[in-house]
Amino acid sequence: MILEDKDTYTDRRKSGSHYTPPSWVMEIVRPALEPIFYHRWEVANQDPKKYCEILLKLRILDPAMGGAEFLIGAAQELAIEIAWADLYGKPRQIGRASCRERVYDDV
């Protein structure tokens, strides 16, 4: 539970500012990036070096930005994915099977 001063809450609400806990951010960011990682792995023809190069060129936009929690989370997930692929020669497998159906040609 997050407690905050009523005045602070009212000010944040008026400005449209909302706090997203880090645990929620990661629950949203990882599933959002998984189809992109999977698609880029296929584009790289399952070549770990090429995969990392492709991921390093990835651009991520959070138009709402706020406190940048989602951008920071995306940067962390991207760094972990690149380090994993560099170390193990393949992407992480978290949720990989379920995201295959969500990959779109225009990703």
The H or E element that residue 39 is part of is helix 22-43
Q: What pLDDT, on a 0 to 100 scale, did the predictor assign at position 42?
A: 95
Number of H helices, E strands in the chain: 5, 0
Which among 34, 87, 81 has a CA at the least distance from the CA of 55? 81
Q: What percentage of the chain exceeds 70 in pLDDT?
A: 72
Q: What pLDDT, on a 0 to 100 scale, did the predictor assign at position 6?
A: 55
pTM, full prediction = 0.71
